[in-house]
Structures are given as C-alpha cells and as structure tokens.
Amino acid sequence: MGCLALYYLALLLLLVALSSWAASTPIEKSFRGCMLSQPGSYSQEYYETAMLSSTSSLYSQVLDSFQQNPRWLNSTRKPLLIMTPLNESEIQAAIFCSRKLGLQIRVRSGGHDYEGLSYLCETPFIMIDLSRLNSIQINLSDETAWVQSGATLGELYYKIAKESQIHGFPAGLCPSVGLGGHISGGGFGTMVRKYGLAADQVIDAFLIDVNGRLFDREKMGEDLFWAIRGGGGGGSFGVVLAWKIRLVRVPPIVTVFNIHTTLKEGASELIHKWQYIAHKLHEDLFIRVIAQNNGGKPERVTASFNSLFLGGVDRLIPLMNESFPELGLQAKDCIELSWIQSALYFAGYQKGDPLELLLDRITTYKSSFKAKSDFVKEPIPKTALEGVWKRLVEEEALALLIMDPFGGKMDEISESEVPFPHRKGNLYNIQYMVKWDENGIGASKRHIRWIIRLYRDMASYVSSSPRAAYFNYRDLDLGTNKLNTSAWGFKYFKGNFKRLAQIKTKVDPQNFFSNEQSIPLLSSLPTST
C-alpha cells in the first residue's frame, strides 16, 4: 500500500468515526476517557480517527490486511481496539491507560509474525499498529539512516536507492516485512555473509518503556540497547519507535542467478556439495538453496540455487569455476542489475518491473503456513537428504526448505555481541515451511503434523543442546511462557537468554510487556542456569 492509499485510509477513518463511537462497550469508554485525559493529548475528533473499535467498518480491514498468515483470520483473540498512532505521545498514553485498566497491548509493525503474536492475545488487549509511523531519513554524509519501526524493508531499500546507487542495507528478502519486528529478532538476507544481520547495523534507537518514558541509546543504557537488537525487543522490553542504522556499501552493478535442478539432474549431489562450500565462499557471494515438492511426486522435487553476487559477471564466473564448478554456471545464466533491482528480483519480480512494487505493504496472495527452523553445523549426509525428499513428496501442499548460508562476516561477530547467538560454526540455517490454501482446523492440523514429522527426522543432523532455532521464524511448538518452560528461550538465544531475563527483570519487573514467547522474568528461569 503506497502513500496515496494511506491518505485514503485516513479519510475513511474520519468518515466512520462517529458510527464507531456510538456503539462502544464500557471498557472501551473507560479507555477512551483515560486517553483523552492524558497530557499532550488528543481532540475527540482525532481520537476517533486513530482508534478503531470492532464495530468500525475499517477494523477488519486494518486487522487483516497487514497480517501475513490467514491461519489466524478466524481467531477469537482479537483486539478490543486498534490504534494507528502518528506520534509517540499516543503510544505513551496507550501504555499508561492499558496498564491502568488491566489491558494488554500488542505492537505490530509489518505484521509478519509467524504465530500472529503482534495481533492476537488471549486476554483483552489494545493493538498498536505502527504502519503510519514509517518515516525514513537518510544521511549520506555519515552513511546512516533513522527509520521508524513501522517502515518496511521495501520502503527502506527504495528510499536508500532513490538517494544513492552505492548504498544498501543488509536485511531480509520480503519487502513487506516491518523493521520493528525484523530487527527485534536479528534479520538476515542476501548480504548476511558480507555484512551480518540487520540488528548488527543498529547504532541508536528510540524506545518507549513500561512507564511511558522515551529513551534513546544513551538514556536507556547499554544493557537495554543490547537486548532490543535481536532479543525479542518485540513484546518484551517496550515499544521501539525508531532505529538508527548504518547503511552499507554496495557496488553499482551486482549479479543474480537462479539455477533449477531436479533430483534426476543430481540435485542431491549438488546440495551435498554446496554444504561444504557455501559458508566458505568469497563473502561477496551468497548462494542459497530452495528445495520444494511442487506437488507430491519425486520427479517434481526441485532444488534452486539462488544467488546474489556483489560484483559483475566477469568476476563471478571464474570465482564459481574455481569454487563450485559442479553447478556449471555460465554467463548466460546470470543477470547484471543494480542492487535495488536485485531486491526486487529476490522479492519475486522481474528486472524491468517498477521499483515502486517494493512499497506494497499488502500482499495480495497469502496462504496459511507453518514454519520451523534449524541451524546446521556439520554437512548432512546424502542418505539423510534423500530422506528429506521422501518426506517432501508425502505432503500434497507446497512444502519447502530454504537453506541460507552463513560464514563470512557472521563468523567474525561474537555470540554475545547482540542477543542473536548463531554465529561461527553454523554452516547454514534451514527454514522448513508448509503452505496451504484450504480453510479450517482439520487442514491446519494435517499440515502441521507433517512438518512436525519432518522436524523430528532432522534432529540428529542439526545443532543440538540446545537444538537452536531462529527467533524471527517464531515457532510456538518450542514452548511458551504459559507452560512456564524456558527451553524455547535457550533455543533462540543460547547463552544470551539469561542476560535477557536479567535485563527484562530490571526494566519491566511487573512483566507488562508479555506474550507467549516474551523474555520472562529471572524468577521463572530454572535456577541451575
């Protein structure tokens, strides 16, 4: 959704204002009264445009259009009110009033949370949707930018490219992902081997804490600043308003390729070989693998070797010939383009498509999905890979594995630099995903059972003690706070989990910012750790 659409939305909000006010419930009235009495507060008129109750005709539209997993569309755990703030004082007031009235809040930036935690909650809650807080200010003289959390990756990439041909930002591939959630969990994409994570580039931030105080890095202190850069800032420590990030240098011309292979053409051997080299390649070269079933027959399983090279074809071909000759890459398989066009390419568009497509916040085609993740430390034997293909063909819906190589810069950053701990020693990350279009609980259960079986099969080939997982590929099967288990925390954060709990206990001792997988208070961690 572009800027025009947002203005249109604001106009509609105005139009529905009065009707929504008429039908409000007692708790909504109390919340409204509280909000209107807050310092620096709103006119009644403005309040109506910024708060949507469930009787508002826009409520469902705003709730559903920015969420990415239709699996949750029929949830009964919907917000009492949706707030679409334009500035920090509204958020400060909402935190104050939610605490006063015993309500929870959920913060949503891009709405991509795999388990819907940014817009679902079991107890009455206010959802703060940050999509209107999406300004981006780039400063080329010191190669930094201030980006509000509600901005998307696509908006950031687009804005950078408008101002410079030689700057970029190392973050995820999907343009509609929000910077609020993405950086709060790490964030990696096609430049991870050269520059590391999105969270590694953060040099300052604005955060509103549980007492409504607005902190920058200096005011929040280094502990809290450490925690929010990948430690599930999302729903644990406060509301991040904006990040100050370092931009990175990209060459004016980069190269992409996507080589498809089938099992018959030796996909297994190629993937097997890829495991030994992908993390050791020149750091300008990123080659990921996507293996997918394409509908239930072994001959339909494909593996794609999908690559970004930070340089021209001339340099790439000899490099590939030297390090991965088995793939047989030739110049005709390659496309040279600008970095921003490569962002469009990895988002699934073609070279000539308009860059403005990166600004779309709303994905028109969405399937329900369930995902899980692993980190691989030793190459997986060929026989085990063959077992994976067998599993893939058992599933009739779209099932895939996305394997993202690490190494390079990731090996140079210590495990405790930011809360994301999966650095040196990890060859690659696997994301398992199944996507389906049928509705209903029965279908969900069937597909989820399938992915659980695949995940079980993989146990002996991936990291162990803990079996690590990537926080941004959120998976509630790993455990939740409700069950008072903390195993999930060690899987996402390893040795950093305890420090996160210490910081949490200091900055939010009443555990106001909480969800199924928010950082718990120290008192609920096992004492032996």
Ligand X SMILES: *[C@@H]1O[C@H](CO)[C@@H](O)[C@H](O)[C@H]1NC(C)=O
Ligand Y SMILES: Cc1cc2nc3c(=O)[nH]c(=O)nc-3n(C[C@H](O)[C@H](O)[C@H](O)COP(=O)(O)OP(=O)(O)OC[C@H]3O[C@@H](n4cnc5c(N)ncnc54)[C@H](O)[C@@H]3O)c2cc1C
Residues at the site binding ligand Y, with contacts judged by CB under 6 A: 68, 106-114, 117-118, 130, 149, 172-174, 177-178, 180-182, 184-185, 187-189, 233-235, 239-240, 472
Among 2, 33, 40, 348, binds ligand X (CB under 6 A): 40
Min dist CB 110 to ligand Y, Å, is 2
Binding partner of residue 240 among ligand Y, ligand X, none, CB cut-off 5 to 8 Å per kind: ligand Y
Of residues 289, 285, 114, the one with CA closest to residue 185: 114
For ligand Y, the closer of residues 55 and 89 by Cβ is 89
Please report whether residue 529 would count as binding ligand X according to CB under 6 A: no
DSSP 523: G
Min dist CB 431 to ligand Y, Å, is 8
For ligand Y, the closer of residues 21 and 154 by Cβ is 154
Taking CB positions, which residue lies at the least distance from ligand X? Answer: 439
Please report whether residue 349 would count as binding ligand X according to CB under 6 A: no
Binding partner of residue 26 among ligand X, ligand Y, none, CB cut-off 5 to 8 Å per kind: none
Residue 60 to residue 326: CA distance in whole angstroms: 51
Please report whether residue 440 would count as binding ligand X according to CB under 6 A: yes
Contact indicator for 245, 201 with CB cutoff of 8 Å: yes
48 by DSSP, 3-state: which? helix
Contact indicator for 283, 190 with CB cutoff of 8 Å: no
- Segment contacting ligand X by CB under 6 A, of 82-90, 195-203, 413-421, 507-515: 82-90
For ligand Y, the closer of residues 32 and 71 by Cβ is 71
519 contacts: CB under 8 Å, gap ≥ 6: 227, 231, 232, 236, 237, 489, 497, 500, 501, 503, 504
DSSP 520: P
Residue 260 to residue 329: CA distance in whole angstroms: 11
- 469-498 residues near ligand X, rule: CB under 6 A: 484
Among 141, 364, 414, 465, binds ligand X (CB under 6 A): 141
Whole-number Cα distances in Å, 201 to 144, 162, 185: 9, 20, 13
- Before 526, cis peptide (omega within 30)? no
Among 26, 252, 318, 354, binds ligand X (CB under 6 A): 318
Binding partner of residue 141 among ligand X, ligand Y, none, CB cut-off 5 to 8 Å per kind: ligand X
Instruction: List, in sequence order, every residue forming a beta bridge with 370; answer none if it has no partner.
Output: 434
- 91-120 residues near ligand X, rule: CB under 6 A: none
Sheet holding 334-337, edge to edge: 334-337, 254-262, 302-309, 285-292, 398-405, 428-436, 368-376
Contact indicator for 206, 242 with CB cutoff of 8 Å: yes
What's the count of helices (H) and strands (E) in the chain, helices before strands? Answer: 17, 18
For ligand Y, the closer of residues 180 and 520 by Cβ is 180
Please report whether residue 70 would count as binding ligand X according to CB under 6 A: yes
Min dist CB 361 to ligand Y, Å, is 10
User: Which residues lie near ligand X (CB under 6 A)?
Assistant: 40, 42, 46, 70, 73-74, 86-87, 89-90, 139, 141-142, 317-318, 321, 439-440, 484, 524, 526
